[in-house]
Amino acid sequence: MTDRTHVHAFTDDALGEHDATSLAAAIAAGEISAREAADAAIARAEKVNPALNAIVVTDYDRARTASERPAGGVFAGVPTFIKDNTDIAGLPTGHGSEAVHPKVKATTEPYAEQYLASGMTMLGKTTLPEFGFNATTEFQHLPPTRNPWNTAYSAGASSGGSAALVAAGVVPIAHANDGGGSIRIPAAACGLVGLKLTRGREVQSLQGKQMPVDIVSNNAVTRTVRDTAAFVAAIEQFRPAAKLPGVGKVEGPSERRLRIGLITDSIAGEPTDAETKSAVDDTAALLASLGHDIRDITIPTDQTFVRDFIHYWALMAFSTQHFGGRVTGSPFDKSKTDSLTKGLARQFIRRPWLTPLSIRGLKKSERQYREAFTDLDIVLSPVLGHTTPELGYLSPAAGFDVMFPRLVNYVSFTPLNNAAGGPAMSLPLGRTAGGLPIGVHFSAAHGDERTLLELAFELEAARPFARIQDQVQATG
């Protein structure tokens, strides 16, 4: 169903309004078949993707065949999509870039194997901005991925395509990964649950193996806390993290009351906008009413972190710009990269000697982050410096000098968790006056995803998440 600004695919088909947990249960009980679920998801994708532009590659024939004999697992037969920076045998990987001429991959990369071991049926691959460098899924020359809550607005990034499809009801769960907020940012923009795991919780990504500081985390975006919790338990069953405490299957809130530190402004230089700050303050008030101890704190790092992370970002762009064929494993034309990649690469070239200092600074942030949780259980903050922008505001087509300062102020809270390696979650607990979701950010100590998930269950029950299908009906 659509109106002038809203797009969703919810209808009376085999998927109905199921989340991944209830859909898997219906398939296991024989109420519907995995093939019926796959067919319904494909029909939904074909209905709404022309408006959303969230799918890069479809693999519908293989999906239909696979759904006739679904693999075992907690989400057996549940349809899903994989982000197009992750290799799947038989499909190309384009990394969101016009510079890449993608070759069909011969193998499926290890994290994708871990993801699909939960039993899901893979339907295709989703959009991301060029190499995941941006916080909006927009391109230099191609049409953007649109937010299903309001198609004039960004779906976030870099996992923007996955988030748009889950929010619109095409599938209940989709792959996402996060190198500076790329799970949590699109979750915030699209009204989803987005959990970045502790470094080392999941199988290491191919990108992370190449980095001096591995800032990349893989997981999924979902519409319900229980889906995220069940998925974390599934990947842990596939391969327990050797150096982290187990999470186990989290099925509800804890009775334990938490010490929660509150932060509302970032160190990027601009104050948080009023609607975002209000959503965080309202969440703090709700937590206090539930008996949690809320205390104001300062960010556990300083302004040098911004410099160090930007330089590291620029190092990744430089490596991609000049060694893109080696990075992607496909033919690469560096003249076709976008203004953000080129602009970041130029920044690196101007000050390459900062690299050792930058790497030391990011490693220092892990120590500072750990110290912050000496007498805290959770840190509460905005996900982003302001509400979701309209398309064009962060587009590479605007030019690097225009969009990059905007990008730094927008993505001002999430990168610390990537550098420090700590877990963090975005929950859709706020709304703008125009009805767009606002995500609220929760960070925890290394290895303590259980506390994040328990708190998320409590908040979801106390303030049920808005549903896009209700919003559409309300607005006609």
CA end-to-end distance (rounded Å), the chain: 10
Closest of 183, 149, 181 to residue 52, by C-alpha: 149
DSSP string, 287-321: HHHTT-EEEE---SS-THHHHHHHHHHHHHHHHHH
How far apart CA 294 and CA 280 sit, in angstroms, is 12
- Burial label for 476, CB within 10 Å (0-12, 13-18, 19+), is exposed
Task: Please state the φ and ψ torsions of residue 459, each to the nearest 5 degrees.
Answer: -70, -35
Active-site option among 67, 158, 339, 365: 158
Joined tokens for residue 98? 């016009």
HSE-up of 107 (CA within 13 Å, CB side)? 5
Cis (ω within 30 of 0) for the bond into 254? no
Give yes or no: 33 in active site: no
- Give the list of residues 6+ apart from residue 134 with CB closer than 8 angstroms, or none: 157, 158, 340, 394, 396, 407
- Given the DSSP bridges, would you call strands 121-126 and 79-83 parallel, antiparallel or unpaired? parallel
How far apart CA 177 and CA 304 sit, in angstroms, is 25
Q: Cβ(158)–Cβ(133) under 8 Å?
A: yes
Closest of 20, 198, 208, 181 to residue 111, by C-alpha: 208
- Given the DSSP bridges, would you call strands 293-296 and 259-262 parallel, antiparallel or unpaired? parallel
Give yes or no: 182 in active site: yes
Number of H helices, E strands in the chain: 16, 13
Give yes or no: 395 in active site: no
How far apart CA 396 and CA 388 sit, in angstroms, is 16
Residue type, 437: P
Joined tokens for residue 469? 């299908």
How far apart CA 377 and CA 384 sit, in angstroms, is 21
Residues forming the active site: 83, 158, 182
